[in-house]
Amino acid sequence: MPTDATFLLAALFIALGAIGLVYKVYTDRDLPPRISADYIRGLNLVLNRKTDEALELFVQMAKVDEDTLETHFALGHLFRRRGEIERAIRVHENLLARPNLNEAQRHQALFSLAEDYLGAGLFDRAEQLFGGLRDSTTLADAALEKLVTIYEREQEWQKAIDALRKLEMLRGAKSSQLAHYYCELAEIARAAGDRALAREHLRHTVRSESGALRGTLIRATLAREERDYAQAIPLYEQIIAADRHFISEVLPPLLECYREANRLPELDAYLERLVAADASLYRDLALASIVGNLSGSKALEAAVERFVFEHPVLAGLVNAAELRTLPAAERGTAMRRIAEALRGIALSNARYRCTNCGYSTQRFIWHCPSCKLWETVRPIQSVPLENVLARP
């Protein structure tokens, strides 16, 4: 919804246009005084929210020059902000029909019209217009940025790469999301069974830290699928070393690799080394193990047990003191039952949340669909026990 501030802003622009014209009328006797009267009337119409009449007045205004151009843009912007896209389009198409615009003004009008199409969800038309401004001396940067957004939305990754590379050249700076576009292409190639092409795309993912991490994950997946565990295992471990947030994603396939390679004791040794280096990691391992329903690793079982025994609420709920005294086999059965209950709670709640906008999801994603940022979604590192109490 538009705010009063929007109206006031537009009114201010129009008032400035009118003042400029009045000034010109008094300093330039060749200018017909009728135009300034039109602007005053337009200002009144906008202030009184008689937008249809204001639109007609501006569209039919005979002369568009330096002084009145900004007012037209302000009016078009106002309409778009209010969701009145058809009116905005009319203002900008009307501007483009004027023969006396210079190149910068024409480009500005084309850009505004493209933004109208974008607002109306007409992506093809918007793409076409923004595409025409790729080499504009005044608006190439802004147009390329819009194109990248459109291609990202349409998941046209190769086109997004081309536009973003051009933008990077213009700005002389690398962006972090380019590596993700290559990762998207690599995932598509992998899903289609073209592993050579997937690896070719992955060569470009080392450009940024976040992209490199994701690239490593895809490389590890490719190796695991090829049963090349000697290659897959160190790649997965590299990811955990780089960012512990990925433990919940990486631990299940890592366990599978160790199991398939008949090297489970090595996994236990590796996990014990992790916890020895950073004691707080047992919680991450326990949560990943609970949620992923992982079994077969003594180190993971120990992490889950420690998590339950040391949890301030859980320990009381399950009577940890008594559990500790049970024989190993019985304790193991009890622990599996507790883990199963905890998994039920964890899976019925959001597991990941965007650190930027708070968007939450059950599945790990690299691109937040809400705020459109890359790699801001992180696992929620807790089991929301309080939600159990809130249920009927």
Binding residues (CB under 5 A) for Zn ion: these are 354, 356-357, 359, 368, 370-371
**Strand partners for 367:** 374
| CB closer to Zn ion out of 122 and 357 | 357
Q: Furthest-apart CA pair in the chain: how many Å?
A: 104
Q: Which of 60, 9, 63 is nearest to 35 (CA)?
A: 63
Q: Taking the complex as a whole, how short is the minimal distance between the CB of residue 374 and Zn ion, in angstroms?
A: 10
Q: Taking the complex as a whole, how short is the minimal distance between the CB of residue 366 and Zn ion, in angstroms?
A: 11
Q: Taking the complex as a whole, how short is the minimal distance between the CB of residue 123 and Zn ion, in angstroms?
A: 21
| CB closer to Zn ion out of 104 and 371 | 371
The phi and psi torsions of 68 (rounded to 5 degrees) equal -95, -15
Give the integer Cα–Cα distance in Å for 315 and 57.
74
Q: Taking the complex as a whole, how short is the minimal distance between the CB of residue 367 and Zn ion, in angstroms?
A: 9
Q: Work out the burial of residue 287: count CB atoms within 10 Å of its CB; fewer than 13 is exposed, 13-18 middle, 19 or more buried.
A: buried
Q: Taking the complex as a whole, how short is the minimal distance between the CB of residue 369 and Zn ion, in angstroms?
A: 8
- Output b/e per residue, 259-270; b: 16+ Cβ within 10 A: eebebbeebbeb
Half-sphere exposure of 131 (CA within 13 A, CB side): 11
| CB closer to Zn ion out of 58 and 359 | 359
| CB closer to Zn ion out of 306 and 353 | 353
| CB closer to Zn ion out of 51 and 355 | 355
Q: Look at residue 301 and give its three-state secondary structure.
A: helix
| CB closer to Zn ion out of 44 and 360 | 360
> How many other C-beta atoms lie within 10 A of the C-beta of residue 125?
15
Q: Taking the complex as a whole, how short is the minimal distance between the CB of residue 353 and Zn ion, in angstroms?
A: 9
